[in-house]
Amino acid sequence: MERIMGCDKCYDRGYLLNDKREWDGLCDCPAGQKYLAKHIEKTFTEANIPHEFWKLELKDFIPQVHSVQHINFVERTASVIKSVPNIMKSSFIWVIYGDEGTGNTLAATLVLKEAIDKGFKVRYVLWGDIIANKLKTSDIDKYLHDLKTAEMLCIDRVGGDSIGRESKFPNETLDSILSVRYSNQLPTIIILSTEFMEAAGRLPVLLSRVREQDKSEVRGMNYITQRKV
């Protein structure tokens, strides 16, 4: 029996092919929407973006009209998103720190998702996972290589490890990642788990790599607890 196709443009593949049978974009039919949803799930999973941020947008920042720093932060986030095509293949670095729950990770993931939308390979990782992998992973060189070569990288909660202050390898690890990324002009977003100078006390590479204009200090109401932190 002949199969009845739902879409006469893509034949229910979800994507279009040109005369040479090459990719020619998504179809606007239901199959195209389904294909897009699967593609987004696959790319976001590969990038390690936390699931709770998959569907969030710039409008999901909670307005904090009493915090000028938070207003400036949201405006800067919008500016970075808009500038994604220009900051890719550059030594761009953005360090975010301040009050917890004010949208620090939201800002970073919005930028990552924009980079994904533009066709770049990105990676989100927790600082604690880097430290844990360096301590226990036998193939640590490959793990770090993946972080060093991602076209855009976000390291979240930097500084939040339980290793003694006298240990050098957290700073050496971050330095090695940033050095390679800077040399190869790959943009990096760093979210600190503490105040900048406190983190820099343990990770002095932040002082040598981060300029004043690379920082965003965020103050405001905690999105989760809805109280001043």
- Together in a domain, 97 and 27: no
Q: Which of 97-111, 122-136, 177-191 has the lowest mean pLDDT?
A: 122-136
With tokens 């040479």, the residue in question is 20
- Together in a domain, 157 and 86: yes
- Together in a domain, 93 and 185: yes
Span 182-207, average pLDDT: 95
Report the distance separating Cα 173 and Cα 144, nearest Å: 9
Report the distance separating Cα 127 and Cα 156, nearest Å: 6
Span 114-125, average pLDDT: 94
pLDDT at 225 exceeding the cut of 90:
no
pLDDT of residue 159: 87
Span 175-186, average pLDDT: 97
Can you give the residue range of the structural domain that contains 20? 1-47
- Residue 69 tokens, joined: 């720093």
- Together in a domain, 62 and 21: no
Residue 218, C-beta contacts closer than 8 angstroms, at least 6 positions apart: 69, 70, 73, 96, 97, 98, 99, 102, 103, 104
Q: Is residue 229 part of a domain?
A: no
- Residue 107 tokens, joined: 């800002």
- Together in a domain, 42 and 84: no
The total number of structural domains that make up the chain: 2
Report the distance separating Cα 118 and Cα 107, nearest Å: 17
Confidence tier at 133 by pLDDT (50, 70, 90): confident
Confidence tier at 3 by pLDDT (50, 70, 90): very low
Q: Is residue 223 part of a domain?
A: no
pLDDT of residue 162: 59
pLDDT of residue 2: 45
Confidence tier at 1 by pLDDT (50, 70, 90): very low
pLDDT of residue 226: 61
Single-letter residue type at 21: R
- Together in a domain, 118 and 41: no
Report the distance separating Cα 6 and Cα 88, nearest Å: 39
pLDDT at 137 exceeding the cut of 70:
no
Confidence tier at 119 by pLDDT (50, 70, 90): confident
Residue 98 region, left (φ>0) first, then alpha (ψ -120 to 50), else beta? left
Q: Is residue 226 part of a domain?
A: no
Confidence tier at 5 by pLDDT (50, 70, 90): low
pLDDT tens-digit map of 42-98:
999 999 999 999 999 999 998 898 899 999 999 999 999 999 999 999 999 999 999
pLDDT of residue 163: 62
pLDDT of residue 173: 93
DSSP reduced 3-state for 160: coil
For a pLDDT cut of 70, what percent of the chain falls above it?
A: 91
Maximum Cα–Cα distance for the chain, whole Å?
74
- Together in a domain, 13 and 56: no
- Together in a domain, 12 and 71: no
User: What CATH number does residue 196 fall under?
Assistant: 3.40.50.300
- Together in a domain, 71 and 87: yes
- Together in a domain, 41 and 77: no
pLDDT at 138 exceeding the cut of 50:
yes
Half-sphere exposure of 160 (CA within 13 A, CB side): 17
Q: Is residue 227 part of a domain?
A: no
- Together in a domain, 23 and 74: no
Q: Which of 17-21, 121-125, 137-141, 156-160 has the highest mean pLDDT?
A: 121-125
- Together in a domain, 111 and 24: no
